[in-house]
């Protein structure tokens, strides 16, 4: 598939259903660079930009990773910010990559919980969105059902859904 400017404009403006149709039409299946995966990633990158501007410097590395995995060109803000940070290393202005990228890990971070959320949250969010688009009400019963598919309970399913909603919907709306 040709990845020209018209394609990127389409992905930025189309619905998720249209991106899925484009994926099916072009036999992408569930490939990481399918239009549906890129549709989702573009919205995540927009949310990451909002978080980056609010001071979350780790969002830059997340955006670079997302672009690489989904075969998306680096947005201007990612390119400029990466170059500025990396130049600090090249010019010996920073003693470490953490310092160059202005990233500091919180003390006492629960890495296992973060890994679990990272692995599962987008699946919960996507499943809830698909089911609600098909007429299901977003209720405790739906969270029970979707959570069970991923071996988590209602409360954690709700937390993961809220986390992804915050990341994807509220951040983008605020930008």
* Predicted local confidence at residue 15, as pLDDT: 80
Q: What pLDDT is recorded for position 35?
A: 82
Structure tokens at 20: 């899925």
Burial of 135 by CB count in 10 Å (0-12 exposed, 13-18 middle, 19+ buried)? exposed
**Contact present, 172 and 47 (Cβ < 8 Å):** yes
- Walk along the chain (175 residues) and give the pLDDT tens digit of each residue: 344 567 777 878 888 778 778 777 877 766 788 888 888 888 889 989 999 999 999 999 999 999 999 988 899 999 999 999 999 999 999 998 888 988 887 778 888 888 898 889 988 988 898 888 888 999 999 999 999 999 999 999 999 999 888 877 654 444 4
Residue showing tokens 């484009």: 22
State the pLDDT at residue 111. Answer: 84
The pLDDT, as a whole number, for residue 1 is 35
| Residue 65 confidence (pLDDT) | 94
Residue-wise DSSP of 16-64: HHHHHHHHHHTT-TT-TTSHHHHHHHHHHHHHHHHHHHTT-THHHHHHH
Cα–Cα nearest to 51, from 81, 85, 86: 81
What local confidence, expressed as pLDDT, does residue 109 receive?
82
CA distance 2 to 10: 12
Question: What's the rounded Cα separation, in Å, for the pair 23 and 31?
Answer: 9
SS3 175: coil
Model's pTM, two decimal places?
0.67
pLDDT at 170: 55
The pLDDT of residue 45 is: 92
């Amino acid at each position: 598939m040709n990845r020209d400017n018209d394609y990127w404009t389409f992905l930025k403006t189309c619905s998720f259903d249209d991106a899925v149709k484009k994926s099916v039409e072009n036999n992408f299946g569930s490939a990481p660079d399918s239009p549906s995966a890129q549709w989702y990633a573009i919205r995540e990158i927009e949310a990451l930009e909002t978080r980056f501007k609010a001071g979350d410097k780790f969002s830059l590395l997340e955006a670079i990773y997302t672009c690489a995995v989904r075969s998306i060109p680096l947005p201007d803000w990612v390119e400029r910010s990466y170059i500025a940070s990396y130049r600090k290393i090249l010019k010996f202005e920073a003693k470490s990559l953490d310092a160059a990228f202005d990233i500091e890990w919180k003390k006492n971070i629960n890495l296992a919980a973060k890994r679990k959320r990272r692995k599962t949250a987008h699946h919960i969010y996507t499943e809830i969105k698909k089911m609600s688009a098909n007429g299901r009400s977003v209720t405790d019963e739906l969270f029970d059902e979707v959570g069970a598919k991923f071996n988590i309970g209602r409360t954690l399913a709700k937390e993961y859904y809220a986390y992804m909603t915050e990341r994807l919907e509220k951040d983008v709306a605020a930008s």
